[in-house]
């Protein structure tokens, strides 16, 4: 056989060996079917008739929130949690968290399998034996953005070796100034087991300022004058000249406003004293920072503008590295209008007005017909494990802005995983002809973030 024939056989054999393997590559930008103009919010706003029309007035947003809370859509009014809870309930919550984690293999930062000895040490630190039959709930405010962990540890727990960007012990992150209910303290005194509006788990105890009286928190949160962070992130300073950095605040954070001083705003923040209790402290924000007095008006222009402020922002699983994942991206956008959304994509797909719900077998024609009813800037599109904001239709294609880790691109014998790891604009054909299918083919829910009768 000729050398060319031998090489051809070797090439085919090598490709067949890899036919069921997903290879990883860096995606070249721009993405298919996108242009540089599409990365501007004005491009999409300009296609909307009446983009400044108010979708929901503040009183209707309150109704929207109340409706979601009353339907128990994975949301809890923290300050309405009973001041005394059966200890058995808390013990069960903590036990279930550990059990779920142990059901699957996890790997540490050196790619070693986490052994039983690791979980035995965690078990001791859960401090379940200290939980009394009736637990008096303590309420507090977060003094900084913090992570909620499934276990009281900063340890990395990967589902497979080398998967460093996905820590399975990371549940979510919470913005500063948010109320929490403290249910238990770890044996080492470093962690608090808390219930938050949309999640529960372990946070660093030093990030919580405990109130001696719950009314302190209520009064703080109900101040009439407040700033809302409308930028991706802003800086907060200790002094009026804004030279001594204090902390960052992310989009959607509400901060009580005291006064204006020259080129800065004087604001009120919670602080933890030496005994761990709540006290007030003054801080400053430069007027040139991207903040707004009160919540933004809920309009299509404002939604799209807010979304594009995070364009190219890095992806962060569960809020890791102080970044966002797909559902946090959606949550932060709508929080600038005073809306309270659940944390996870599957939960977010249960709110608002239903435009369409799809099954795996729904035809492409039916999907497109439903998407033609979607309203840009106020419609979310959900598929298993992912959620996106709808921008509009162009040349028969449907466009979204979303925080995405990667997508699949079909090649001759395998799918190549194309890494993105940030907020991008794409159309729903992304992933077309791959093993999993396109975003359009995988869609499960089309929901309008609105309040009232179903569409």
- HSE-CB at 202 with a 13 A cutoff on CA atoms is 24
Which residues partner with 209 through β-bridges?
A: 141
Percentage, residues of the chain above pLDDT 70: 93
Q: Is pLDDT at 20 greater than 70 in this prediction? A: no
List C-alpha distances in Å: 102 to 94, 96, 149, 162, 211: 13, 10, 14, 19, 35
pLDDT, position 21:
41
Give all domains of the chain, ordered by start, each with its CATH number.
Answer: 24-56+298-448 (3.90.1720.10), 75-219 (2.30.30.40), 223-293 (2.30.30.40)
pLDDT tens-place string over residues 323-379? 999 999 999 999 999 999 999 999 999 999 999 999 999 999 999 999 999 999 999
Q: Is pLDDT at 18 greater than 60 in this prediction? A: no
> How far is 312 from 35, CA to CA, in rounded Å?
15
Mean pLDDT across the chain: 93
Distance of CA 349 to the CA centre of its chain: 14
pLDDT tens-place string over residues 93-105? 999 999 999 999 9
What is the mean predicted confidence (pLDDT) over 415-427?
Answer: 95
> How far is 197 from 211, CA to CA, in rounded Å?
17
- DSSP string of 31-43, one letter each residue: PTT--GGGGSHHH
What is the mean predicted confidence (pLDDT) over 381-409?
Answer: 97
Q: Taking the model in full, what pTM does it have?
A: 0.92
pLDDT tens-place string over residues 208-267? 999 999 999 999 999 999 999 999 999 999 999 999 999 999 999 999 999 999 999 999
What is the mean predicted confidence (pLDDT) over 172-176?
Answer: 97
pLDDT, position 350:
95
* Reported confidence tier of residue 54, pLDDT bands at 50, 70, 90: very high
- Other Cβ atoms within 10 Å of 349 Cβ, number: 21
Q: Is pLDDT at 301 greater than 60 in this prediction? A: yes
Cβ burial of 116 (10 Å; 0-12, 13-18, 19+) is exposed
Distance of CA 364 to the CA centre of its chain: 29
Q: Is pLDDT at 4 greater than 70 in this prediction? A: no
8 A C-beta contact, residue 181 and residue 142: no
- DSSP string of 398-454, one letter each residue: EEEEEEEEEEEEE-SSSEEEEEEEEEEEEETTTTTTSSS--HHHH--EEEE---SS-
């Amino acid at each position: 056989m000729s050398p060319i024939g031998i090489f051809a056989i070797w090439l085919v054999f090598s490709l067949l060996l890899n036919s069921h393997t997903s290879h990883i590559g860096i995606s070249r930008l721009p993405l298919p079917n996108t242009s540089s103009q599409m990365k501007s919010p004005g491009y999409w706003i300009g296609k909307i008739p009446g983009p400044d029309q108010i979708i929901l007035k503040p009183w209707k947003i309150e109704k929207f929130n109340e409706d979601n809370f009353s339907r128990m859509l994975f949301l809890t009014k923290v300050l309405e949690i009973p001041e005394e809870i059966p200890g058995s309930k808390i013990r069960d919550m903590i036990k279930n968290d550990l059990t779920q984690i142990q059901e699957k293999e996890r790997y540490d930062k050196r790619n070693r399998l986490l052994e039983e000895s690791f979980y035995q040490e965690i078990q001791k630190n859960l401090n379940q034996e200290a939980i009394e039959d009736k637990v008096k709930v303590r309420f507090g405010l977060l003094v900084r953005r913090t992570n909620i962990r499934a276990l009281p540890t900063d340890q990395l727990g990967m589902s497979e070796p080398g998967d460093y960007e996905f820590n399975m012990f990371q549940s979510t992150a919470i913005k500063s100034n948010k109320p929490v209910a403290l249910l238990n303290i770890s044996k080492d005194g470093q962690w608090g087991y808390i219930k938050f509006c949309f999640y529960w788990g372990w946070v660093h105890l030093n990030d919580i300022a405990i109130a001696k009286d719950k009314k302190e928190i209520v009064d703080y949160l109900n101040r009439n004058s407040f700033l809302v962070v409308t930028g991706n992130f802003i800086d907060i300073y200790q002094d009026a000249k804004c030279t001594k950095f204090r902390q960052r605040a992310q989009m959607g954070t509400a901060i009580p406003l005291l006064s204006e001083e020259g080129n800065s705003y004087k604001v009120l923040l919670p602080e933890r004293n030496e005994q761990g209790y709540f006290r007030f402290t003054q801080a400053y924000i430069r007027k040139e920072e991207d903040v707004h007095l009160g919540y933004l008006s809920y309009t299509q222009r404002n939604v799209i503008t807010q979304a594009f402020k995070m364009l190219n922002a890095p992806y962060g699983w569960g809020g890791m590295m102080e970044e966002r994942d797909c559902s946090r991206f959606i949550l932060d956008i709508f929080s600038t209008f005073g809306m309270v959304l659940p944390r996870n994509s599957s939960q977010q797909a249960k709110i608002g007005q239903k435009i369409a719900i799809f099954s795996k077998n729904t035809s492409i024609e039916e999907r497109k017909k439903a998407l033609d009813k979607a309203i840009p800037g106020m419609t979310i599109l959900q598929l298993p494990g992912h959620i996106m904001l709808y921008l509009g239709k162009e040349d028969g294609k449907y466009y979204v802005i979303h925080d995405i880790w990667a997508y699949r691109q079909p090649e001759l014998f395998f799918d190549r995983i194309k890494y993105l790891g940030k907020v991008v604009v794409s159309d729903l054909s992304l992933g077309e002809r791959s093993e999993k299918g396109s975003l359009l083919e995988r869609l499960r829910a089309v929901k309008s973030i609105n309040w009232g009768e179903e569409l």
